[in-house]
A and B are shown apart, each in its own frame.
Chain A
Amino acid sequence: MTDVKVKKESTDVVDIENRIKELCQQFPHGITDQVIQNDMPHVEAQQRAMAINRLLSLGQLDLLRNSNGLLYRLKDTQSASKMKGSDNQEKLVYQIIEDAGDKGIWSRDIRYKSNLPLTEINKILKNLESKKLIKAVKSVAASKKKVYMLYNLQPDRSVTGGAWYSDQDFESEFVEVLNQQCFKFLQSKAEAARDSKQSPMVQRNSSFATSHEVWKYICELGISKVDLSMEDIETILNTLIYDGKVEMTIIAAKEGTVGCVDGQMKLYRGVNPIIQPTGLVKTPCGLCPVFDDCHEGGEISPSTCVYMSEWLDF
C-alpha cells in the first residue's frame, strides 16, 4: 500500500515537473508561484515545493527575485549544456563566478560563498579554466590578487585600470607624455590668443579649448596606441589643473553640440602662475633635507653647511 502510494506520488511529481517546465517555456520571462498554483489547483503545496526543489537542484530551473516575489525561469539550455558532466560543486562555483559579473571574484570570496575547502575550489577552478568556461584576470588594485570571471566577459575598468594600465602596470610615462602634450596644446592656443591683439574678452574666449578639441588633437597626434576616450583626456586635463597650469570652466551648451556632455561643455585654458618661486626656496635652507637638524654649534650647522658653501661658490 505504501509502496503504491510512493510510486503514485513520484509519478505525480514527474508530471508536475513537466507541467512546470511547460509553463516556463510558455512564459520565457519567468513565472511566479501563483501561476503554477492557478494552473494546477489540485496539487498540494508540499508536492509543488518538492517538484520545484528537484528542478532547482537539477539546475533546470532558475530562481529569481523581483519586485512581486519569487520568480521561476527555465535555465537556458546553453549554459546547462556547458555544465554537462560537472558535478554540483562545480555548478555552484560557476554560478558564484557568473554572479560576480565583469568585476570578477577572488578565490577566497568564492570559498566564503560556497563553503567549500580551498583545495577543492582550486581544483574546480582549474577544471573550469581548462574548459574555457572561466578565466583568471589579474587585478590592478592588488597585483597578486587574481579574480575569476566568465570567459566571454570583458573585464571592468576597475579591474584592468582602464587605458592607463598595461599588464597591471601603471604607465606613468604615458600619462606624463599626454599631460605635457595637452598642456602644449592649451598653451599654444593661449599664446595665439594673446598675440591676436583683439579685445581682451575675445582673447580670453579664444584661449579656451573644449575637452573634445583636446581629445581630437591627441588622437590626431597618434601618440597613443590604445584608444582614449574623452573621459580619459579629461582625467589628464584634471592633472594639469592640479599642476596649477590649467583652469577649467563649465558652460552650458546645446545638447548635440560636439564635446557636450549632459548639456555641459568643459572648457580648459592654459594659465600663468601668479608668483615666481618664492624667496625661501631660492636659498639652500628652503630646500635643505636636514633643515630640522641644523643648529648653530651642532654637527650640522649653518657655518659648516656644505650645501651653503657650494651655493655660495656657484
Chain B
Amino acid sequence: MTAQEVRLCALLLQEHFGEVVEKVGTHLLRSGALNLRALAHETRTSLDLVKKSLCVLVQHGMCTFGPGRRGPAGPLEYRVSCERILYMLRYPRYIYTAKSLYGDTGELVMEEILQRGQMTMSNTVRTVADRLTQNMEDGQSTDYNDVVTAFSRLVETHFLQRCPPVDTATSKKTVSEVPESPASTITQPSQPENYPDCYKLPQIHLTGRGKRRRSDEDGDVGARVAKKAKLEHTEACGDEGIYWQVNVERFHLHFRHQAIISAVASKLDQTSSEIVRTMLRMSEVTTPANAAYTQAVSANEIFRAVPPSYNISRPILDQYLTLLVDDPMEFVGKAGDSGGGMYVVNLHRALANLARATLESVVQERFGSRSARIFRLLLRKRHLEQKQVEDFAMIPAKEAKDMLYTLLSENLVQLQEIPKTPDHAPSRTFYLYTVNQLPTARLLLQNCYKAVGNLIDRRLFETKENKRHLEKSQRIEAILGSLQASGAEPAQLAEVEEMITAPERQQLEALRHHINKLDSSENQVDETIFLLESYIKSTSCSR
C-alpha cells in the first residue's frame, strides 16, 4: 500500500472508531503482520486497549489473524486489510443502494449492520423495527415481519451473507480476545463464499414469531412496536451465533453493472441499456465475480426476459443486439449463433473502456480539450513521434509541444527512446510518446486517495474552526428541547432562540453547506476510485 492509502485509512479509522483504533490500525498497516505484544509495545498502548481496538477491527472484517512466522505454536499475528478499511468510504453508497432497492427498511438494515460490522438477524430486525417505529407517528408501528422480509430479500440477493465460522469451538468475538490460545490457529476466514450455507436464513425467523420477543424487556419504543404482541416468546430466537455481514463484493458487482448500464445508456440509448441490464440480470447468479464475460444468453432468452413495458418486438431486439455488438466500445459480444444468437457482456472490456474514459475525462478537465485530443490520439495510435502528434492532432507545433511536455511531466504520457546508434545521440534517436493505460490508472487512483484525504482533512478543519458555534447551537437546541418538554411560553422559546445571533446563524448555515459539499464530493471521488480499482483488479486477474 502507498503512503496515500495509509493516510486515508488513518483518517477513516479515526473518523469511525476514534484515536486508539486509528493508532493501532495504522501501525499494523505500516508494519504488516504483528503479534499482540509487539503491537502493544510499539504503539505504547495498554494491552487492554490494543485488544479492544483489534476487536473492533476484527468485528468489521478489517483485521485478520493467523499463525505467525514461528508456526502454529508461536503467537498469533494480526494483519489489517487496507482494502477493507478503504471500503468505509463506500458505506454511504452501500446504504443508498439498499435504500433504492429495498426502501427505508433496507436502508436501516444496511446501516445497522455496517455500523456494527456483524449482527445476528434477530438483533438487526429488532433494532431496525424500533428505529422505524420511532420515526412514525404515534399509534403506528412497524411489524417485525416487514423487516424480516427486507432482510431476507437482502440475503436472497446476496447483499448480506453469513460471517464465515471462525472456529467451531469459539465464537468470533472471543477468539480475538484470547489470541494466544492455540485453539484458534486456523487460517484466515477470507472466503465466505466457500461455506455452503452462507446465504441460508436461519429457520426460526421465517416463522415470524421470535420477532416480538423484545416488547416485554424494552421500554416505551418496544411496547409500541409490539402492540399486537402476545408476550409469550421470551426465549432465544434460534439464531444465536449466526452473524451476518455485508457482502461488499456483491455490492461492487452491482455498482459495476450500474456503471456499464449507464455507459450504454449515454452512448446508445435507453432501450439498449435496458437490454444490457436484462442480460446482466439474467447472468448475475451464474457468472463468477471476476469473469471477463458473462455467461452467454441467447436472443430468445433475452427476448423473454426484457420487461414487457419496453414493448420491444423480436426483430427490433435483434437489431439492437447487432448494434450493441457493432459498437466500437464492445460492451456486448456475440458468442455463437445458436438460439437466435448467443450474446455476452464483455465485463472486463467494458471496465477498461470506462477506465479509459475516466482517464480521458481527467485530462480533458485538467488540461483542456486539446490536450485530451493528444491524449486520446496517443491512446489510439500507441507510439507517436512529436511531429506526428502535431500533424494528427492539427495543433500548432509550439502548443502541441507545450501540452505534450506538460502531460509528460505529470506522468500521464510516457516517452520511449529508440536509439539508431548505440551512443544514444539525440539526433539519431527516435523519441516516441505513448500512454500506458494501466500505470496511468494506478497513478490516478493514488491521486484520488489523496484527494479524498484532502477533502476529509478540510472537513475536519472546517468543523474544528466552527467548534464554538456548533457547541453553542447544540446547547441552545438542548435548552429549547427541555423547555418545550416542560411546556414553556412561546415568548420564552423565542428568547432562547435569539441567543444565536444572525451572523452566527449565517456562519452555521455556511458550515452546513460546506460540509455537505465536501461530503458529496467524497462520494463522487469514490465513484472514480471504484471504477479505477475494478479496472486494475480486472486486468490483474485476466493476466
Contacts and interface: CB of A to CB of B under 8 A. Distances in A.
B455 A285 contact: yes
B376 interface: yes
Interface in B322-356: 322-323, 328-329, 353-354
A62 B28 CA distance: 87
17 contacts: A200-B316, A201-B323, A235-B394, A242-B377, A274-B266, A275-B263, A277-B361, A278-B361, A279-B526, A280-B358, A280-B528, A281-B362, A281-B366, A282-B524, A287-B366, A308-B454, A312-B518
Interface in B447-494: 447-448, 450-451, 453-455, 457-458, 461-462
A243 B521 contact: no
Contact of A200 (B320, B328, B358): B320
A164 B394 contact: yes
Contact of A247 (B328, B361, B457): B328
B358 A278 contact: yes
Given A242-B392, A273-B266, A291 B323 contact: no
B447 A303 contact: no
B394 A274 contact: no
Given A201-B319, A236-B394, A302 B458 contact: yes
Given A279-B524, A286-B366, A291-B447, 10 more contacts: A200-B271, A201-B323, A239-B394, A274-B357, A278-B528, A280-B528, A285-B447, A286-B362, A286-B447, A308-B454
A28 interface: no
A31 B291 CA distance: 74
Contact of B373 (A194, A239, A279): A239
Interface string A195-215: 000011100100000000000
B457 A273 contact: no
A172 interface: yes
A272 interface: yes
Interface in B347-389: 353-354, 357-358, 360-362, 364-366, 369, 372-374, 376-377, 380
Interface of B: 262-264, 266-267, 269, 271-272, 315-316, 319-320, 322-323, 328-329, 353-354, 357-358, 360-362, 364-366, 369, 372-374, 376-377, 380, 392-397, 399, 444, 447-448, 450-451, 453-455, 457-458, 461-462, 510, 513-514, 517-518, 521, 523-528, 531
A164 B369 CA distance: 20
Nearest to A174: B394
Interface residues of A, number: 46
A280 B394 contact: no
Interface in A271-300: 271-283, 285-287, 291, 294, 296
Nearest to A239: B394
Interface in A238-277: 238-239, 241-244, 247, 271-277
B365 A281 contact: yes
Chain A interface SS verdict (over half):
helix
Contact of A172 (B366, B374, B399): B399
Given A239-B393, A279-B525, A274 B454 contact: no
B444 A172 contact: no
Given A204-B323, A273-B266, A199 B316 contact: yes
A305 interface: yes
A279 B528 contact: yes
Given A280-B451, A281-B365, A200 B524 contact: no
A250 to B, nearest CB: 12
Contacts of A313: 510
B376 A244 contact: yes
Interface of A: 164, 170, 172, 175, 179, 194, 199-201, 204, 235-236, 238-239, 241-244, 247, 271-283, 285-287, 291, 294, 296, 301-303, 305, 308, 311-313
Nearest to A287: B366
Contact of A294 (B262, B454, B531): B454
B358 A275 contact: yes
B263 A274 contact: yes
Question: A175, A247, A282: which has the most chain B beta carbons within 10 Å?
Answer: A282
Contacts of A287: 365-366
B393 A296 contact: no
Contacts of B377: 242
B360 A283 contact: no
B461 A242 contact: no
A291 B528 contact: no
Nearest to B514: A312
Contact of A274 (B354, B457, B458, B525): B354
Given A302-B455, A308-B458, A275 B361 contact: yes
Nearest to A171: B396
